Amino acid sequence: MRTFGVEEEFLIVNPDSGVPLPLAGELLRLHDPGVQVDRDALRLPTLSGELQQEQLEVITRPHSSLAALAAEIRAGRTYADSLARMAGARVAALGTSPLAVTPCPTRTERYDSLQEKFALTAREQLTCGMHVHVSVDSDEEGVAVLDRIRSWLPILTALSSNSPFWNGADSGYASFRTQAWNRWSSAGPTEVFGSARAYHALVTDLAGTGVVKSPDFDARLSVNHPTVEVRVADVCVDSRDAVLVAALVRALVDTAAREWESGLHPGRVPAVILRQAAWRASRYGVHADLLHPMTHRPDTAGTVVAAFLNHVRDALDDAGDAGFVAESLARISSQGTGATRQRQALTRGDRLADVVSDAIDGTHQELAGHFPDLVSVLG
């Protein structure tokens, strides 16, 4: 069984106004106050800062079972929110801020360099995604996986879409985070690499341009772990959607590895065509035609999602995840994605602050483990 884990990025928000708050440094100080704490015994998650001070990243451990990963996703959200409450804020799973905001940059050497080099792109980049890591046995297997999952990734964007608002207005997109993220110079789909050697050569060549040190591909080999890292999803307001995306990514990686082992060659569809598939997924989510990953022609979202499910069915069955995935896809087909929920919240409340308030509720609904001793341990 391949292990997998996730990184979820959250907005730190004022629970009354909905405005993002630059409190990441304060929450990280609360998380690690310099006192002796047995963090493993308390099962505290790993937290990290991001490009902007209005963001907090929660990182799970690697897990073999979907149930264990789901439990840590829920616990990590609760823990991060407990810290935020101590600072008078909340954390919300929003791919972008519904309200207009001027982000406050995180001051580190790396982030200062990004802000200087990428200018407005970096200054405006307040987006929250979800990255899924799945274990691979070698770089060669990992690159073989990257070559074989390219056409399926836009479907994950559609299913996770949770960022319809940008700068205080409805963008018209289900995942505007995807549009904002693709302003980075190396973001987006890649061509087929063919070998680990070719992959690493391209990464070296990119670094040699002096523009990027680590590429922002839609999927890549992790720099720090023996994993494939899939980076196309918005952070999901509903934790069940986050678990669904993780299950689908693991099944997709496992399916691709099996194809490689059996000698099945990857499809050679050009990256520019895959960019059109990503655009459709970003624009419409699951509420209009997507590009079918086999024909690269428009087809109904239901047909495309069904093709994805059929593609990874054996891997889902082997992992014991098929029932949960089928139930979750049926729920999204009926209720929509996070983008749907955000727009419905605006219709009901008529204020963007109401969208944030609803997202706070959605982020933490049905969550267990409220860390009752948190204040006494870390305060």
Q: What is the CATH number of the domain that holds 204?
A: 3.30.590.20
Nearest to 23 by CA among 79, 84, 96: 84
Annotate 188-249 with DSSP letters as a single string.
B------SHHHHHHHHHHHHHTTS-SS--BSEEE-SSSSEEEEEEEEPPSSHHHHHHHHHHH
Cα separation, 28 vs 262, whole angstroms: 46
Dmax of the chain from CA atoms? 58
Q: What pLDDT, on the 0 to 100 scale, is given for residue 374?
A: 38
pLDDT tens digits for the chain (379 residues)? 899 999 999 999 999 999 999 999 999 999 987 555 555 656 778 999 999 999 999 999 999 999 999 999 999 999 999 999 999 999 999 999 999 999 999 999 999 999 999 999 999 999 999 999 999 999 999 999 999 999 999 999 999 999 999 999 999 999 999 999 999 999 999 999 999 999 999 999 999 999 998 999 999 999 999 999 999 999 999 999 999 999 999 999 999 999 999 999 999 999 999 999 999 999 999 999 999 999 999 999 999 999 999 999 999 999 999 999 999 999 999 999 999 999 999 999 989 999 999 999 999 975 444 333 433 333 3
Q: What pLDDT, on the 0 to 100 scale, is given for residue 92?
A: 98
Domain-located, residue 378: no
Residue 63 phi/psi, 5-degree rounding, is -135, 155
* Distances from the Cα of 290 to the Cα of 131, 158, 176, 269, 272, angstroms: 22, 9, 16, 16, 15
Domain-located, residue 120: yes
Q: What pLDDT, on the 0 to 100 scale, is given for residue 350?
A: 87
Nearest to 51 by CA among 130, 123, 129, 101: 123
- Which amino acid, residue 30? L
Q: What pLDDT, on the 0 to 100 scale, is given for residue 42?
A: 62
Cα separation, 289 vs 202, whole angstroms: 33
> 252: domain range?
4-372
At 275, is the secondary structure helix, strand, or coil?
helix
Q: What pLDDT, on the 0 to 100 scale, is given for residue 373?
A: 40
Domain-located, residue 202: yes
Cα separation, 211 vs 62, whole angstroms: 32
Domain-located, residue 161: yes
Domain-located, residue 28: yes
Q: What pLDDT, on the 0 to 100 scale, is given for residue 32?
A: 82
pTM: 0.94
If one counts the domains in the chain, the total is 1
Q: What pLDDT, on the 0 to 100 scale, is given for residue 301?
A: 98
Cα separation, 122 vs 47, whole angstroms: 22
Domain-located, residue 229: yes
Q: What pLDDT, on the 0 to 100 scale, is given for residue 114?
A: 93
Pairing of strands 90-92, 4-13: antiparallel
Domain-located, residue 334: yes
Domain-located, residue 377: no
Beta bridge partners of 12: 91
